[in-house]
Amino acid sequence: MKGAPYPVILHLSQDDPKKCSARKMARMGKARLITRMEQLPYGSILLDPFSGTALSPADRELFLHRGIVAVDCSWKEAESVFDSFRDRHRMQGRTLPMLLASNPTKFGRWGELSTLEALAAAYFILGERETASDMLSIYTWGVRFLETNIEPLEAYADCRDSAEVVKVQHEFI
């Protein structure tokens, strides 16, 4: 991961370990897995599907200086998980714009991305396309995620700020 901060994943062990993209990312050296909230990096970007602010290229400086965190939890538990710790660590919550999942569990669903897909999308939007592609290479379906979402990802990466990302995403849904 040349120049880009190493992604951190808070892993809450709420899913099937055999299908867990976060664990595989850690095994393959693509991310650092943590299991306790106390280990969260202070002030970093938190990929939060319930945040009111969309991730945009305007977040690049924060990303480069503070890093990025994804939470690996069950989609069924996600809302309560994010509510429980959002303000505790002064993290900057950002929602990813709409993309289609390509992972086998949630294939074809808008917005229900795996941890791997979410982090790769974030890196792409933040200008780290090569790193995003490298992350996705750990699964055969990773290439399909980029192929399926390349047009919206490029459009989001060309936006100035969160408001523009929100406006642009309406062209794709």
Give the model's confidence band at 40: pLDDT under 50 very low, under 70 low, under 90 confident, else very high. confident
Beta strands in 26-124 (DSSP E): 32-34, 45-47, 68-72, 92-94
The pLDDT of residue 87 is 59
Maximum pairwise Cα distance, the chain:
39
- What contacts 26, CB < 8 A, 6 or more positions away? 9, 11, 32, 33
pLDDT at 36 over 90: no
Rounded average pLDDT over 129-156: 96
For the entire predicted model, the pTM comes to 0.92
Residue 73's CB is within 10 A of a number of other CB atoms, namely: 19
Nearest to 47, CA basis, from 144, 123, 109: 123
pLDDT at 1 over 60: no
Element spanning 43, H or E: none
The pLDDT of residue 85 is 67
pLDDT at 79 over 80: no
Residue 166's CB is within 10 A of a number of other CB atoms, namely: 17
Beta strands in 18-91 (DSSP E): 32-34, 45-47, 68-72
Place of tokens 């936006």: 159
Length reported for the chain: 173
Q: Which residue has better confidence, 81 or 67? A: 67
Long-range contact set of residues 147-150: C-beta below 8 Å, sequence gap at least 24? 148/100, 148/102, 149/99, 149/100, 149/102, 149/121
pLDDT at 31 over 60: yes
